[in-house]
Each structure stands twice: as structure tokens, then as C-alpha cells.
Structure 1
Amino acid sequence: MRTFELEEIKSILEHAPSVKILTSRNRELILLFLLSAFPDTSKSHSYDFLHTKLADHLESIQLEEDEENDLQFADTYDVKAKKLIKRWTQLGFLTSFRNEIGTPHYQLTNHTTKTLNWLEGLKKKEFVGTESKFKEVFNQLKELVEWTNDDVEKRIEILEGKKRELEKEIDELKISGKVDTYQEYEIIPRFQNINDTAKELLSDFKEVELNFKEISKEIYLKYTNSDLSKKEVLSFTFDAIDRLKKSHQGKSFYAFWQFLIDRGLKTEWNRLIEELLGKLREKKIEVDDDFLTGIKNNLFETGQHVYRANDKMAEKISQIIRESDSLQRESLKRLLAEIKNLLIQTSRVPKSPDISIELESEPEINLNFDKKLTLEKKKDRTYSQRPQVVPKDLEQSSQFEKIAAKRKISKKVLNANILRTLEARGQASLAEIIDDNGGVSQGLHEVFGYFSILKNFKHTFNSDKEAQILFDGTANKMIRIPEIIITK
């Protein structure tokens, strides 16, 4: 066990939220409510849910007033619940965040989770498996010795020993045809141990999340400090992140997170859980704690909280950089505006300035895209071919006919076309209506004419599907539009 300094112990007892819960006047109320509201310590609840549940709980126990938490006799239970949630958040019992749509949510802090797990661990267990714990310690000791030795020959010797043990076990199974399995006194403590370890794992995730949040707070504090430059703030940030990632805790979390998001793990995990629970049911062993069944999702959700804290920190860094760039751009704009104003004022003064530049030799001026001065006479360009006059008269031109033609689209006719199709079908697309009435005969204008009278009918647009309408059969020209469904 590590040693503590006196000041370190004083600081923990004075500031640790876990100690504050246990030394609160209404600690029984706090612990009882948190255990009932958060049976799964990894889950979060909306503010409305938590507020309503706490108000009902206060009313059920008839809590009238509490000086420690500023609860007055005249306060309604809704007001008391609101005050308590705010107070518990300030003391570090709860932590709040907003989800993707901005709704406030609350979850247990790492300190509260550890307190509840510790409290649960104090409950007297019906069965204490010293045998399974000793075997676990012994196996971990063997594993630690194996994986701290870098001697190749020693590793081969260990693996050969495992190989002989496996071969011996296989031979015994083939000869006897019997399989040794754990007895109930061996199964129960191992199952409890897996559950306890899984809960500790969730607590470790929250510890990493808390570290990211602490770095974010430090960034905000240093950014608001006018004595520090943005370069110093960013340097502190990246150094802090780098230290966290290189720490034992950070390395362990990121390695485990990569393992957790493996697609194959979910399938294997679910198979193992279902197989284990099935065997327990066969042996009629009751499972009081079903925490293990949802641990995969709980770990993933808690890990996402860590990444959200990381994203907030990255967003703050990005904001600092953007603000730095925008400030530089604004200062540059102001400087250019001042220069322009000075130039305009100078140009309005009639007298010439006393400033000049004297050159010893003729300047070399090179203006790109400028016409060069030359004494050579420009050659006249002669054309050997003359354009031929079109034999047809202008009025006989087909293009002129299209331009000069006055096309009048009768909306009454188009309206009648739609009504005729709707009477027959009840519902049809615009493309079907045009096809039913002989297609488009007056070009694109006719199609736009249909568009202009859509307001007279019930219609919907299906942007996921396109329709093609042929408006020029000679040139095979079509227009693509979203499908328009017209109904009576």
C-alpha cells in the first residue's frame, strides 16, 4: 500500500465528493435515492425524469426542511428537488451534460459511482469464494512472471509446459470420456468477481472522462488569462493531452477502446454471455446481479462520454485558433482601411508632396500584358475568303420562326387535361397526365404552363424519384423534374 502525507490525507477528507456524501446530514436520503434512480451506474437520465423522481421521493419521506441544503418549509417538493439537484451537482455527486438535441442530462460522477460500489461491497455476502480468489491471484502471478521475462528460452519453456498440460488433459478426456466442471461453490464467486471487475471498469472510464474535463477547464482558465498568449495556451493544451495519452491510464483506455469497438467482439461477447446464463439456468443457480448482461453497451456508452469530453476540448482548441486568425484578419482590414483613407486625403490636397526618389540610371519597367512600343508599321490583315450570303430570306429561317412565334398556352386546356386524367385514375403523376393527353405539342412553354396551374390541385413532390418529360420530339429533348403526384 502506498504511503500518504498528512496534507494529502487532509485534502482528500476535505475535498473528495465521496467523503462529502458519507458525512452529509442526509446521507441516507442521498444514497437511497441515487441507488434507486441509478440502478445502472453507467446510465444517464434527463433533468425532467430526475427532477420528477426526486420530488416524488421527497414527498414520500415527507422531508420538510434541511438547513444544510437550504430547503425551506414553505418550498414545494418541486422546488426542493430542483435545489437538491443543483446542490448535488455543485458538490460533485452528479455531473450534467447536454445531448445531441440540447436536452440536459445527469449521470453519476466517478466519485459517487465508487461510493455506491464500495457500499455494495460492504454488504455481507452469503458466500465468500476464497478458493476462486486465490486461484485468480495465483494465475495472475504466473501471467505477470511470464510476461515480464524477456528470455526467449524461458518463454519457450513455459509454452512447452502449457502444451504438455493441454495434451495431458486431452488424453484424459479421450480415455475417461468425462469432463470436469466447476461446482456451484466455484461458479458463484467467479461470477460475482466478473461483475465487480466490470463495475470497476466503468468507474475507470469515468476517471479518464474526468481528466479530459479537467484539461478543458484549465484551457478555459488559461485562455481567459490576459497575461498568457494563445501560443502558450495551445502549448499547455497539447502537452497536457500528450501526458494523458502517454500515462498508464491513457494507454490502457485507448487500447481497450480499440478492442471494444471491434465488430467481432460484440458477436463473441453476446455468445459467451448467452451460453453462460444458459448453463447457470440449467444448474438452477440464481443470478441476483444481471449487470454483466448489459456491460458491453454500458462500456461503449461510457466510452462515448470520454470521447465527447475529448471533442469538447478539441472544439475549444479550434475556437482559440479561429479567434486568433479572425483577430489577425480584422486588424489587417483596419490597417488597410487606414492606409486607403490616408491615400484619399493625400490625393485631395492640390500641392505636390516634397517626397521623391532619384534614380542613377533609367529604370527597367516590365509591364505584363501591356502593348509594347515599336516603330514598325503594323501589317494590314487581308482575308482571302468572303462570307457567303444566305440564300433564304430571313423570314424563312426556322430559327427566326421560333423566336418570332407567339405561343399562347391555354391554361383552360391544361386544366381540363388534368381533370380528365384524375376522373379516370383518381391520382396520377404530371408525366402520366401529359402522356394521357398526347404529350407536349407546344414545347417547354407548355410544361411550364402545367407548373403554373398546380396550385389549383392537391399535389406532392417526391424528391427521391425523377420523371422525364419529352417536350421536343424532333430533337429528342427532355426535361428532368422531381416526380409530382396530383390528386383530386
Structure 2
Amino acid sequence: MHLDEIRLLAERSPAWKLLRARNAPLVLGFLGETFVESNGGAQAQSELAGRLDDFLYAANAGRAQAEQWGGDPIGYLDDWSAPDSGWLRRFYPPGLDDVHYDATPAFEKAYSWVTSLKTRPSVGTESRLHTLVELLRQMVHGADDDQEARLALLHQRRAEVEAEIAAVEAGEFEVMGGAALRERYQFFSSTARELLADFREVEENFRALDRGARERIATWDGAKGELLEALVTDRADIASSDQGASFRAFYDFLLSHDRQDELSELLARVQELDELDADPRMRRVHHDWSDAAERTQTTVRRLSEQFRRFLDDQVWVENRRVLDLVREIETAGLELRLAPPSLGLEIDEAQVSISLPFERPLYDVKPASEVDSSVSVGVEELDTTALFEQTVVDHVRLAAQLRTVVPPRSSALLADILELYPLRDGVAELVGYLALTDDDLSVELDETQRVEVSIDDERGRRTVSMPQATVSRS
């Protein structure tokens, strides 16, 4: 880093300010125990103040009067959540009147650095080396587009798995020792806590976007189309960034029922290992991940609500303006009816219009029109069968079928849904699926992948190719 960047961080970074604060041990000790060590989320002011009061009482026990921590717990919370500090986030949850507090990413960074200063009983390197090597394999082989190389790698893996199976069948296998288990468990625990801290940072980024959208809406005086374009562009940029794509993939992973069951089973079996002094809080860490991810998704939904509220307010303002204009016209009409002007209306003209007599055209006799009634016109026969063969697609039925298959806050492939509900109205029904515009349903097309779909209509059963479509439900 450049010297100027370090100097700027020292002046503005909330994490750096916390490390230099006089009461840094109190802040790190209490907030770390409340939000980090216990994997806790936002808490009400009354509950958090009570915990801080108990923490201060326990911290002051046995200390000299000059060394004791004094002050009001609520005063501490207000000081820590002030803009100059930035270690706590103070907010009102939707529908609640009680102030809530939550730790900020800046505090997470400071607390993580302080905890890294502790002397570890053992430093494990084997598990990290295996993890690094595995990451290198994924990058190298994942970026390789050579088909032959991939096939050779898969054959090599199959040979290694078959050799391992043969060794296990012969009773020749090694059981991981206690040192290796403890090393890997330590690496898992630290990574799990870092993941929760990452969620807070992602949530803070989305919250900054939401705050920026509110500021733009409050101060915007131009066309609403331009504002919506700017807001949607910012939202799309974050969603398509590396951070947004990674968060979405992680959230989809957590929504998988099979993955949840696998994580629960693995964590339960790890807790039962005698070689480990397992932390009981790690037993439900995957639920903490889900809660943190859901809080982030709630922030994203609030951003969408800002767009909707902005449009509704603009429509209300425009309708109100139209009504005011109509009332002004009605009032002016009533005034003219009750007191009409005696001299008429005065209209300003730029010049006097002059019309000379000879400018008028002379009389021109038009020739008489001849009508021949002897021509007979036949009645053309029209084919009306097309009027009775129209295909009407029931969009309500299609939406109900999608809601039956796709649970809330999840997604599914349209091709899999069509296997459960075959197309009855041919291509028209397929187009109806793609054109659904319900609030909780959305259909996205992936032009890079193609799927085959079977259609039954008057032409018989046939198969058509279409881009892969994904149905998402909010």
C-alpha cells in the first residue's frame, strides 16, 4: 500500500479508530462476546443495554475505583453507534419502535485482527496446504477447455478411487489422528466465523446502495425514467459483480434441502468425535449462515420496495396535478358563466388581415356524375373457420402450476416443470410460460444453453429446441 493510503486509513477507518480508542478493551470484549463469539444478530436497545450493564458489573468486580468502567450503558451504545465511531449500526427494524443495534464490518475487522494476536497452542499447516493445492487444481482444471485433458483427469481420479476402494476392502486404510482432526477443525471454525463477517460486509454494501437510492429519490427533480435507469443500473452492477455472483451462488447452495441435510449430519458427527474439544456453537453454524444471508436478502428486497414506492408516489403526484388542473378549468368556466364578458374576448394579433374582392375564385361548374346501376356485385364467400380455432392460454392455470412446483424463495428449470405438466396447447402455452408477469414469479432465459421440449398439438408430437429457462419465485 502507498503511504498516502495508509495515512488516509489511519484518519478515516472506523476499525483503526477502535484500536486507538481509550476504551478499546471494553468495546472489543463486550461486542465481540455479544455479536461475534455467539454468532448473534441485531438486538434491541433494552436487551443490549441490560447485557452491557451485567458485563460492566462483572468487569468492575475486584478492580480499584480508579480502574473501573463507569457511565450509562445506553450512553456507551450511543457513543459506539455515532457516525464518528461506526462500530455499531443503529436502526429501527420495519414495524418496530424499539431501537436495534448490530455490529458493523469495521468492528469485525478490528476484532478479527486482535484475536489473531493470541498465541495459538498449535499452528496447523497440513490442512491449509491441502486446501491450497485443491484450489489450484480447481482453477487449472476448471479453466482448461481441452476435452482430452479433462477425460484423462477423470480417468486418473477414477483409478485413484478404485485403488482406494480396493485398499479399504482389503482392510488397509489409515484413520486420521487427533492432531490432524484438531488442525482441520481449527481451520473450519476460523473460516466459518470469517464467513459470517463477510456476510455483514456484503449486507453493508447493499445497505449503502439502498441509502444512496433513498437520497437520490428525495432530491430528484428530473424525469422519473432517468432516475429509474440510474437506480436499476446500480442494482444490476452489484448483482453482476464478483461479490454479488458469489453471494447468490452461496445463497442458492444454502437453499438446497439436500445440502442442508448433509451439513447437519456432518456437523453432528464432528461434534461426537472424542479427539476434538468441539465448540457447541459450531453445531448450528449453518443456520447462522442462513440467517445472515436472509438479512442480506431483506436489504435487497427493501431496495426493490424503494423502486415501487417511488413509482407509486410519482403516479399519485401526477394524478393530483391533473385533478388540480381540472378543478381550475371548472372554476374558470363557472366564473365566465356567472359573469360573462360584455365586450367579448380580446385577442392580440401581430397584423391586420386584408382580403381583396378579386382574391375570391370565380364560379366553376362541376361536371355531372354518372351512376351505372346495371353492374352486379357478387358476395364473396369468406372462410370463418379460423375464427373458431383460436387457442386461448389460461395464464392463471400456468401460474398456479408454477407455484405448486416451485417453493417460495427458490427456483427450478422450466424443462423439469414441463415434464410434470406437459404442454396441452402447443407452442402457445410455452410462450405463455415465458410471458408470465406475476409479482412473485419471474422467468429468465440462458441463451448459452439449449434444451429440448416435447409439444403435443394438431401436428402431432414433436420436439423443439429453446434456450434454457429458469423459473424463480420470490
TM band (smaller chain): 0.5 to 0.7
Structure-2 separation of matches of 1:290 and 1:14: 39
| 1:120 Cα offset (Å) | 2.2
Partner residue in 2 for 1:275: 269
Partner residue in 2 for 1:158: 153
Is residue 302 of structure 1 aligned with residue 292 of structure 2?
yes
**What does the per-residue CA deviation read over 1:290-328, in whole Å, with 9 as the maximum and x for residues that have no partner?**
342121111111112112211222222222211211110
**What does the per-residue CA deviation read over 1:327-348, in whole Å, with 9 as the maximum and x for residues that have no partner?**
1011100000011111112222
Partner residue in 2 for 1:431: none
Aligned residues: 336
Partner residue in 1 for 2:105: 110
Residue 122 of structure 1 aligns to a residue in which SS? coil
Is residue 172 of structure 1 aligned with residue 162 of structure 2?
no
| 1:276 Cα offset (Å) | 2.1
Structure-2 separation of matches of 1:268 and 1:190: 18
Q: Which runs of 5+ in 2 are unaligned?
A: 347-474
- Out of 321, 336, 339, the residue aligned to residue 331 of structure 1 is 321
- Out of 193, 201, 211, the residue aligned to residue 207 of structure 1 is 201
Residue 123 of structure 2 aligns to a residue in which SS? coil
Q: 1:350 to 1:186 in 2, by over 3 A?
A: closer
- Report percent identity of matched pairs: 25
Rg larger in structure: 1
Letter in 2 for 1:181: V
Q: 1:100 to 1:230 in 2, by over 3 A?
A: closer
Structure-2 separation of matches of 1:264 and 1:117: 32
Q: Which runs of 5+ in 1 are unaligned?
A: 64-72, 356-488
- Out of 309, 322, 340, the residue aligned to residue 312 of structure 2 is 322
Q: Where do 1:185-204 residues align within 5 Å?
A: 185-204=179-198
Partner residue in 1 for 2:7: 10
Structure-1 separation of matches of 2:117 and 2:102: 23
Letter in 2 for 1:23: R
- Tell me if the contact between 2:42 and 2:102 (Cα under 8 Å) persists in the aligned partners: yes
| 1:228 Cα offset (Å) | 5.0
Partner residue in 2 for 1:89: 81
Letter in 1 for 2:9: I
| 1:153 Cα offset (Å) | 0.9
Partner residue in 2 for 1:122: 117
| 1:226 Cα offset (Å) | 5.0
- Out of 267, 285, 306, the residue aligned to residue 276 of structure 2 is 285
Is residue 312 of structure 1 aligned with residue 289 of structure 2?
no
**What does the per-residue CA deviation read over 1:414-454, in whole Å, with 9 as the maximum and x for residues that have no partner?**
xxxxxxxxxxxxxxxxxxxxxxxxxxxxxxxxxxxxxxxxx
Structure-1 separation of matches of 2:248 and 2:321: 42
Partner residue in 1 for 2:17: 20
What TM-score does the superposition give when structure 1 sets the normalisation length? 0.64
Partner residue in 2 for 1:136: 131
| 1:117 Cα offset (Å) | 2.5
**What does the per-residue CA deviation read over 1:340-398, in whole Å, with 9 as the maximum and x for residues that have no partner?**
1111122223568569xxxxxxxxxxxxxxxxxxxxxxxxxxxxxxxxxxxxxxxxxxx
- Tell me if the contact between 1:223 and 1:230 (Cα under 8 Å) persists in the aligned partners: no
Q: 1:330 to 1:100 in 2, by over 3 A?
A: closer
Structure-2 separation of matches of 1:132 and 1:62: 42
Residue 72 of structure 2 aligns to a residue in which SS? helix
Structure-2 separation of matches of 1:248 and 1:166: 34
Structure-1 separation of matches of 2:345 and 2:215: 53
Q: Where do 1:218-297 residues align within 5 Å?
A: 218-225=212-219, 228-278=222-272, 280-281=273-274, 284-287=275-278, 289-297=279-287
Q: Where do 1:464-475 residues align within 5 Å?
A: none
Partner residue in 2 for 1:56: 54
- Tell me if the contact between 1:47 and 1:104 (Cα under 8 Å) persists in the aligned partners: yes
Q: 1:190 to 1:302 in 2, by over 3 A?
A: same
- Tell me if the contact between 1:41 and 1:108 (Cα under 8 Å) persists in the aligned partners: no
Is residue 43 of structure 1 aligned with residue 41 of structure 2?
yes
Residue 38 of structure 2 aligns to a residue in which SS? coil
- Tell me if the contact between 2:15 and 2:106 (Cα under 8 Å) persists in the aligned partners: yes
Structure-2 separation of matches of 1:269 and 1:41: 18
Name the stretch that deviates more: 319-328 or 34-43.
34-43
Aligned CA-pair RMSD: 2.5
- Tell me if the contact between 1:45 and 1:106 (Cα under 8 Å) persists in the aligned partners: yes
- Tell me if the contact between 1:41 and 1:113 (Cα under 8 Å) persists in the aligned partners: no
What TM-score does the superposition give when structure 2 sets the normalisation length? 0.66
| 1:60 Cα offset (Å) | 4.6
